[in-house]
Structure 1
């Protein structure tokens, strides 16, 4: 589907005009949105709009890394949003010139639809231009990252609170799932941050300079997101290390107690082994009090070793 918006020299908004009309007539600026286009509509990028073949190829074969390419009469941007429900990347491409902006996306994006609805209610359309539209949609894309980052942060907080009550398998499964989401978000935010940085520091984009303070605001948001992601990655590492350390301590405590009991029973087993050899000449076997004496000695040794280890604090 292709939809269009144009602003004429009188500041009037024109909707859904043919692309041929937009190119031929003198509009202040126009916006063409390629929303999930088919193969026939893709040909218009080449045949009518005459965009660079490499940029068209990047549009059609999507899931590219965010980037910026300069061409003779237009600039090509690849940006990415992230679906908060599925944590999948969704690409939004821009062709931007002094008097036009063309958007291209393979999935229906709320950021684009919000821009479209805004123009249906916007009165001062003369104040807009192609780079202001670019800023609005990139800003909407970046704003979509924050709920995802906050959700991950809340998840880590709950994991930390319940770390003493959950099994190791459950906790590590939740922890690694949150860490995986962080990595996916980082792979989107970092390239977007680099893209906006290039936009702000490019002398080939005078339209960006006219709205520099707005794009700086986007860059600040991306820096904040990067800091949140790095901080949460450190939190996941701290929770993991703390839990593994706690479990190691518990294991060592159990092993220490088992070692104490093994040590106590070693001399008792030795004594029992001696009197279990059934030699013919073992006088104490025939002594009236032999059994009770051996039991008393074994009990004394066991109790003595227990008291010794108790004083040493091995049962704590």
Structure 2
């Protein structure tokens, strides 16, 4: 799940999506339709999943759930007065999608947006129909989203998804088991239930990311590394993507709350709850991003601190051995004392070697004492500044 989005060494992130993954996605989407193309025209994507149609038709007392082999068989359910949920998985066969669109009178611009699944969350009104686009989270090696197009027309709700497998199974189970009010409410309540399930699907993703951040935090407390920075940066990128994807859903729900043609007053109350869930997702996303940024800054600070400690040790060693090297260099000069009495007469002294060693030890001791004294004076000055600052704060 989301914990596998980024491994401890960041390898999973690189395998899932490279650094330029977002830009690549945008370029690929741009290729789907050329600038200036005729509105409402589209072409099939050979990489899309094959079409699968499932129908759930129900009212307070009856329920029928079938899988349709031919798109024309959907018309039989469309003619009935019960609430009809037609779910289309896969977008490869555009002819099948066209047939479903013709049966329910879906506008060609809506069909175009369905076949080109790169839309942001939005709501479009076409005569007596509503076309809603939402984005479901999915995790397959890395975080991604899947478009779900929702068409609301009369008593029917038609959903179009890029592939099989979604977060809507709890909604289907509520219909099958007659759990809650969904069987007693209208098609607008079904639309709310679908949107609510899509928004709630982001909470487990954020929970997994939070767990991954906790693991990174524990790792940083033991041994900070550059690999941890890569992991944190990848998680921040995912959180940024979630924020960008979820934010337009606020506008979607706001428009639905003002709609009176397809959404009843009783469902507006539930849509307000769905809007609250969107706000919670955005707040959790923003908080988690800040936590990831703080952990990244902490990692940089800890690495810098360790480097400073190493440099401090090297500086102390250099401060001690530079004067010793000077003394050793002086007495290493080969001047013959037999030529002149001034040419290092101590080299012939009985205690010359012992004197040089003692001189080096004295110089080293004086250097270390000086460094220790400077440290003590700095600590004393720091404590004095802290006491002064504390007094100022107490006075204010």
TM-score by length of 1: 0.87
**1:42 counterpart residue number:** 97
Q: What's the offset of the Cα at 1:82? A: 0.9
Residue 169 (str. 1) matches residue 226 (str. 2):
yes
Secondary structure class of the residue paired with 2:375: coil
Q: Distance in 2 between matches of 1:26 and 1:180?
A: 47
Q: What's the offset of the Cα at 1:67? A: 1.1
Cα distance change on mapping 1:164 and 1:21 into 2, 3 Å: closer
Residue 245 (str. 1) matches residue 245 (str. 2):
no
**1:4 counterpart residue number:** 55
Q: Distance in 2 between matches of 1:230 and 1:264?
A: 51
2:255 aligned residue (195, 198, 212): 198
Q: What's the offset of the Cα at 1:79? A: 0.8
Secondary structure class of the residue paired with 2:134: strand
**1:73 counterpart residue number:** 128
Residue 62 (str. 1) matches residue 62 (str. 2):
no
**1:211 counterpart residue number:** 267
The higher-RCO structure (CA 8 Å, 6+ apart) is: 2
Secondary structure class of the residue paired with 2:104: coil
TM-score by length of 2: 0.71
Q: What's the offset of the Cα at 1:103? A: 1.1
Cα RMSD of the aligned pairs, angstroms, is 2.7
Note the residue ranges of structure 2 that are not aligned, 5 or more in a row: 1-51, 337-342, 380-396
Cα distance change on mapping 1:282 and 1:249 into 2, 3 Å: same
More displaced 10-residue stretch of structure 1: 228-237 or 302-311: 302-311
1:27 aligned residue (76, 81, 85): 81
Q: Distance in 1 between matches of 2:189 and 2:182?
A: 11
Residue by residue over 1:99-134, the C-alpha shift from the partner in whole angstroms, topping out at 9 and shown as x without a partner, is 221111121134444444443443987623221111
**1:187 counterpart residue number:** 244
Secondary structure class of the residue paired with 1:313: helix
**1:1-316 alignment, distance < 5 Å:** 1-6=52-57, 12-13=62-63, 18-23=73-78, 25=79, 27-36=81-90, 38-84=93-139, 86=141, 87-122=143-178, 127-200=184-257, 202-203=258-259, 205=261, 207-280=263-336, 281-313=343-375
Q: What's the offset of the Cα at 1:218? A: 0.9
Q: What's the offset of the Cα at 1:149? A: 1.0
Residue by residue over 1:240-280, the C-alpha shift from the partner in whole angstroms, topping out at 9 and shown as x without a partner, is 21222222222212212211221122221112222222123
Paired positions, count = 312
Secondary structure class of the residue paired with 1:150: helix
Contact residue 12 and residue 125 of structure 1 kept, 8 A: no
Q: What's the offset of the Cα at 1:57? A: 0.9
Contact residue 199 and residue 205 of structure 1 kept, 8 A: no
Q: Distance in 2 between matches of 1:274 and 1:112?
A: 85
Contact residue 91 and residue 105 of structure 1 kept, 8 A: yes
Contact residue 224 and residue 303 of structure 2 kept, 8 A: no
Secondary structure class of the residue paired with 1:102: strand
Secondary structure class of the residue paired with 2:298: helix
Cα distance change on mapping 1:272 and 1:56 into 2, 3 Å: same
Contact residue 121 and residue 134 of structure 2 kept, 8 A: yes
Moved over 6 A (4+): 123-126
